[in-house]
Amino acid sequence: VEEVQEAVKEKGSDTGDLEQFKALYAAYANKKVTAAELVPLFSVVDPAKKGVVDVRSLNYLLTNFNERLTQAEAEEFIQGMLGLPKEGTVPIPDVAQKVEQLQKV
């Protein structure tokens, strides 16, 4: 976000143009998120700071916030794509690693 704001500030206008958009998009379109960057994000579902995520909490997060998934989509993502169990807890670094690996597909 800061880089976008800086690019707009450099242009001296609060309106962008197609070339500026293309340059910014190209810079971020292929950016991959690492497992190390993902681990802190899971703290929202680890209030006890045990370093694990309850699969039900992850499911709740996916079906109730932002771009909400349906229950079927959440289950497909959790079990099908990430290969996590239907219930129980999983170490956060393991979940983050699995999400990172999905970006390579």
Q: What is the pLDDT along the chain (105 residues), one digit of tens a residue?
A: 676 667 667 766 666 678 777 877 777 777 888 999 999 998 888 989 999 999 999 999 999 998 999 999 999 999 999 999 999 999 999 999 999 999 886
State which H helix or E strand residue 74 sits in.
Answer: helix 71-75
Q: What is the pTM of this model?
A: 0.70
Q: Locate the domains of the chain by residue range.
A: 1-31, 35-102
Q: Are the C-beta atoms of 76 and 37 separated by less than 8 Å? A: no
Q: How far is Cα 73 from Cα 50, in angstroms, rounded to an integer?
A: 27
Q: Which residue has the tokens 């197609």?
A: 18
CATH class of 35-102: mainly alpha
